[in-house]
Amino acid sequence: MLRQAIGKKIEAANKTFRLRGHEVKRIEAFSDAVFAFAVTLLIVSLEVPKSFEELMQTMRGFLPFSICFLILMMIWYEQNIFFRRYGMDDKITIVLNSTLIFLVLFYVYPLKFLFTVMFSGQIYTNNNSPFEMDPADSSTLMLVYGAGFVFIYLLFLFMYAHALKKKESLELTSIEAFETRTKIFSNLIFVIIGLSSVITALLLPANISGLAGFIYFTIGPAISFFYSYRARKRKKLL
């Protein structure tokens, strides 16, 4: 199973963190089924091309599909790390995880719409795109996307905060507690960046509110700087 194979790689990369979730639990199996269904929804609406032009149009849609697929896999991988590290299946974890996969499933079509609209000029020729959107609606689209982004990483934040709260029963070492706090703060960075994009979309004029999406490009530098800082602090604990 994919989770078990990746779990071995996670274990090799986490020498100082004892992985408590060696077996795939029912909650994880259900999550895998939901993620698989979400990926299916990305392509299920596509019909078999009836002409060479339609075939080329489908092929040009590879980029937005790849971006959506990558986002789903990033969320799945983050969830996988959580369950490998803590192996929790109490009621609070189940509620938080269930809310997470509900949001993932709900946001499949908004994600697909967003990135297809972004690349519609490259996908469709002669202005025959079936995806129509008034430029004035871009602010609403950014709000919808931003809200989903914020809530997903807020749920991850709550999941790690719950794990930290249970550190005695989980028998977390000082290093493991430190790493758990690091994940809490990193998810908080994602939440802050998402909120910044939402606020920017609200403040900008509707016809240029799509520029708020560029705020997400700060994720890479912000996370890199944060983990470099935490790595220096971590060395002092060893």
Q: For 115-156, how does the pLDDT look when each residue is reduced to its tens digit (9 = 90+)?
A: 777 766 555 555 555 556 666 677 888 888 899 999 999 999
* Three-point CA angle 138, 70, 35, nearest 5°: 100
- Alpha-carbon torsion angle 204, 209, 214, 218, nearest 10: 40
> Which domain-ending residue is among 88, 114, 132?
132
Backbone angles phi, psi at 204, to 5 degrees: -75, 155
Say whether both 107 and 25 belong to one domain. yes
Residue 235 pLDDT class (50, 70, 90 cuts): confident
21 or 92: which leads in pLDDT: 92
Task: Output 127 or 211, whichever has higher pLDDT.
Answer: 211
User: What's the pLDDT band for 218 if we cut at 50, 70, 90?
Assistant: very high
Give pLDDT tens digits for 66-88: 888 898 999 999 999 999 899 88
Q: Count up the domains in the chain and report the number.
A: 2
Structure tokens at 148: 């989903």
The pLDDT of residue 62 is above 80? no
Q: List the structure tokens of 205.
A: 């004029």
| Residue 202 clears pLDDT 80, i.e. is over it | yes
Is residue 15 over pLDDT 70? Answer: no
Domain co-membership, 77 together with 154: no
223 and 107 assigned to the same domain? no
pLDDT band at 58 (very low <50, low <70, confident <90, very high): low
pLDDT in tens, 22-45: 777 788 888 888 888 888 877 765
Q: What's the pLDDT score for residue 238?
A: 67
- Domain check: are 197 and 120 in the same one? no
Do 144 and 109 share a structural domain?
no
Supply 72's token pair: 């789903």
Single-letter amino acid, residue 194? G
Confidence of residue 198 (pLDDT cuts 50, 70, 90): very high
Q: Are residues 123 and 143 in the same domain?
A: no
Residue 13 has pLDDT above 90, yes or no: no
Domain range for 145 is: 134-238
Q: Are residues 16 and 128 in the same domain?
A: yes
Could you tell me the maximum CA-CA distance found in the chain, to the nearest angstrom? 63
CB 96 within 8 A of CB 155: yes
C-beta of residue 28 within 8 angstroms of C-beta of residue 65: no
* 138/118 Cα distance (integer angstroms): 11
pLDDT top residue among 21 and 167 = 167
Q: Are residues 65 and 115 in the same domain?
A: yes
Of the three residues 110, 132, 154, the one that is the final residue of a domain is 132
- 144 and 79, same domain (yes or no): no
pLDDT of 236 higher than 90: no
Q: Are 85 and 17 in contact (CB under 8 A)?
A: yes
Q: Of 92, 114, 132, which one is at a domain's C-terminal end?
A: 132
CA-to-CA distance for 171 and 83, rounded, in angstroms? 15
Residues 168 and 238 in one domain: yes
Predicted TM-score (pTM) of this structure = 0.83
Q: In this structure, are 115 and 175 located in the same domain?
A: no
Same domain, 125 and 139: no
Average pLDDT, the chain: 82
